[in-house]
């Protein structure tokens, strides 16, 4: 049996990664955040681009559409 590869689909701030994780999970796409403890112990906000959203490669096709929409809406907010 071949295992499904885990891939990175997004890298950004912790709050962006957490928001995208919630959106993906609501679409029944299993995912997790790698490097999520970067800001956990800080008393002041730190700008960090190190939080990565990871999914299974088999979910990439469906996740790609969601991520594209997420990126477009993020650009509109700026």
* DSSP code string of 20-76: HHHHHHHTT--EEEETTTTTTT-SS------EEEEEEGGGHHHHHHHHHHHHHHHHH
Q: Is residue 1 part of a domain?
A: no
Q: What are phi and psi of 40, to 5 degrees?
A: -65, -30
* CATH code (residue 12): 3.30.70
pLDDT higher than threshold 60 for residue 39: no
pLDDT band at 35 (very low <50, low <70, confident <90, very high): confident
**48 within some domain:** yes
In a domain, 78, yes or no: no
Domain that holds residue 42: 6-73
Domain count, the chain: 1
- Please tell me the distance from the alpha carbon of residue 74 to that of residue 14, in angstroms, as a whole number: 14
26-51 mean pLDDT: 73
């Amino acid at each position: 049996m071949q295992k499904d590869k885990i891939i990175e689909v997004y890298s950004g701030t912790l709050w962006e990664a957490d928001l995208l994780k919630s959106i993906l999970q609501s679409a029944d796409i299993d995912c997790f955040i790698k490097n999520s403890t970067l800001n956990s112990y800080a008393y002041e906000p730190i700008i960090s681009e190190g939080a990565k959203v990871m999914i299974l490669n088999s979910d990439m096709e469906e996740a790609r559409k969601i991520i594209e929409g997420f990126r477009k809406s993020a650009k509109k907010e700026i």
